[in-house]
Every structure is written in C-alpha cells, then in structure tokens.
C-alpha cells in the first residue's frame, strides 16, 4: 500500500490503520457482538500480519484498557517501522471513562504512554474528546501542552479525535496536524472536516468507517467495498482506521482496500 503524508510532519502512513481497542478493552464498547480479549500470541500474530500487508499505522489510547501495554510488549519488527498514534484526556477504569485535559494530566498521560509502549517518542498524539471539542481546545491546557511536547521532541504530530465539525475545524486553525473524524456512507455530517483537510494540506484519520461493525447499515452488495470506496473517494481521507482482532477480516479488508485504491 502506497503511504500517505501526515500534513507536513514527515510522517507517512498506510491508507489502512489498525485500531487496537479490542486488544485491551471489551467493556463499554459499541460493537454489535461481545468478544473475548485476544491472547498474547494472537495479538503478536495479528500485528505481524498487518505489517506483512503494509500497514504501519497503529491506533491506540489509554482509554483502550491494556492496549498500549500489550503493544509495547508484543510489537514485532523495529519500533521505527511503525507509526504509533495514541491519545490523551480519557482513561477507562472500573467500567467508566474519566477525563482530564489539564497540563499536568496531559503531560503525565504522554509520559505513561511512552513507558507502556516502550518508546522514546510518539508519532501522533490526539486529544480524546469528551464531545465538548471547542471548550477543550479553547479553555483547557491539553493542546498547548501537546504543542509544547511536539517542540520538545516527545511527539511528532498533534491533533484531536473530535466529535464535532466545529471542533475539528478549530483544531486545524489552532495548529493541529491531524484530526480523527467519523465518516461512512450512512454518516456524512463530518464531510466538511475532510474537505478542509484536503484544502489545507492536513490529515484525517477516519474512524467508524464500518459504523462500529454494523455492516448491515452501510448498503451495497459488498458493504466493506462500498464503505471504503465511498471514503477514499474523498481526497481528505488520509487513512481509515479499522479495529479488528480477526485475521480473516483483516485479510479481506486489505484485499478490498487494494482493489478500491487500484494498488
């Protein structure tokens, strides 16, 4: 898969990314079916398979339970072969989310992610929004702290996993390199984010491409092909983050993506 630039950061990522929430958390998630967390062997094999397919982007977060810790322990190949994107602002403990967008909370979160992931830098760090994007960006210290840590060399790119169009557009205005936005054939409200990214030379990581696993809602004879074709039809879509722990699903999704992309 031909890699794509993340704004002007020098980072290049595969058009498919591997979401890892299912590596570490199976409570309070919005998938249509429950699941057991994979074994260490299964995680290691899935990461190796993703790498073999040309996927270099891993999406993780403190709110994904054990995900960061397991990636740090099980990541195959060299750390420099991967682009790791994690988040700040949200943690998940005892069945509920807690949010902290303070300067100290943000810096502590980045430092903890560095420790768990066993790395001395993070490629991308996004603010894990609680839904009040504009207030977080304008009134909290998370973004300023991340921009400072980017200057210090701990973080290569900064952004937000947003919940609103207004918040995502503001993030670009305030100096963010990348936004994670939801977009699929049955949810197009955040299209202006992708359009702005294309116009401004920024990056978008697309989440909820398959409507959180509700493929029956997407339409088309092949819902996966329909969704990926629809999303990649937008030039602002840098990479689609797909969360799976099923090797066969990963194989099928990669095959469809290669066909859609003409690669």
Give me the residues paired with residue 67 across strands: none
Q: What is the pLDDT of residue 29?
A: 81
Please indicate whether residue 220 or residue 135 has the higher confidence score (pLDDT): 135
218-221 contact pairs (CB < 8 A, 24+): 218/184, 218/185, 218/186, 219/185, 219/186, 220/185
CB contact at 8 A, 218 and 211: yes
Q: What is the pLDDT of residues 3-31, one digit of tens each?
A: 999 999 999 999 999 999 999 998 878 77
Task: Work out the average pLDDT over 121-144.
Answer: 98
- Sign of the four-CA dihedral 147, 148, 151, 152: negative
CB contact at 8 A, 81 and 107: no
Q: Given a cut of 90, is residue 127 above it in pLDDT? A: yes
Nearest to 4 by CA among 55, 50, 60, 61: 55
Q: State percent of the chain over pLDDT 90.
A: 88
CA 258 – CA 263 distance, rounded (Å): 5
Give me the residues paired with residue 125 across strands: 86, 158
Taking all residues of the chain, what is their mean pLDDT, rounded to a whole number?
A: 95
Is 169 buried (19+), middle (13-18) or exposed (0-12) by CB count in 10 A? buried
Q: State percent of the chain over pLDDT 70.
A: 100
CB atoms within 10 A of CB 127: 29
- DSSP reduced 3-state for 127: strand
Confidence of residue 94 (pLDDT cuts 50, 70, 90): confident
Q: Given a cut of 70, is residue 143 above it in pLDDT? A: yes
CA 165 – CA 121 distance, rounded (Å): 29
Q: What is the pLDDT of residue 77?
A: 86
Domains and CATH numbers, the chain: 15-261 (3.20.20.100)
Q: What is the pLDDT of residue 214?
A: 80
Q: Given a cut of 80, is residue 154 above it in pLDDT? A: yes
For residue 46, give the H/E element and its range: helix 40-52
Q: What is the pLDDT of residues 163-207, one digit of tens each?
A: 999 999 999 999 999 999 999 999 999 999 999 999 999 999 999
C-alpha 43: how far from chain center: 18
Q: What is the pLDDT of residues 24-55, one digit of tens each?
A: 998 878 777 788 999 999 999 999 999 999 99
Q: What is the pLDDT of residue 263?
A: 66
Task: Work out the average pLDDT over 125-152.
Answer: 98
Rounded alpha-carbon distances, angstroms, from residue 216 to 22, 34, 196, 221: 21, 17, 30, 10
Q: What is the pLDDT of residue 178?
A: 98
- Sign of the four-CA dihedral 243, 192, 82, 79: negative
């Amino acid at each position: 898969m031909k890699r794509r630039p993340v704004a002007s950061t020098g980072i290049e990522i595969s058009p498919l990314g591997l979401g890892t929430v299912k590596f570490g958390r199976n409570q309070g998630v919005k998938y249509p079916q429950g699941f057991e967390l994979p074994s260490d062997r299964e995680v290691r094999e899935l990461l190796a398979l993703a790498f073999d397919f040309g996927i270099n982007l891993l999406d993780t977060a403190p709110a994904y339970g054990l995900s960061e810790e397991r990636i740090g322990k099980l990541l195959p190949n060299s750390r420099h072969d991967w682009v790791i994107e994690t988040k700040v602002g949200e943690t998940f403990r005892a069945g509920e989310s807690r949010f902290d967008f303070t300067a100290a909370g943000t810096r502590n979160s980045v430092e903890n992610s560095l420790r768990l992931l066993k790395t001395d830098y993070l490629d991308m760090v996004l603010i894990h929004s609680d839904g009040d994007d504009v207030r977080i960006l304008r009134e909290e210290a998370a973004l300023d702290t991340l921009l400072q840590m980017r200057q210090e060399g701990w973080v290569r790119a900064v952004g937000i996993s947003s919940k609103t169009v207004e918040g995502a557009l503001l993030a670009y205005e305030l100096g963010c390199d990348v936004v994670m936005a939801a977009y699929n054939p049955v949810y197009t409200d955040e299209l202006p984010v992708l359009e702005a990214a294309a116009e401004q030379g920024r990056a978008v990581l697309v989440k909820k491409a398959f409507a959180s696993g509700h493929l029956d809602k997407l339409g088309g004879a092949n819902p996966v092909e329909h969704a990926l074709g629809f999303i990649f039809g937008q030039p602002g879509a840098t990479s689609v983050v797909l969360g799976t722990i099923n090797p066969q699903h990963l194989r099928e999704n990669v095959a469809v993506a290669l066909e859609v992309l003409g690669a």
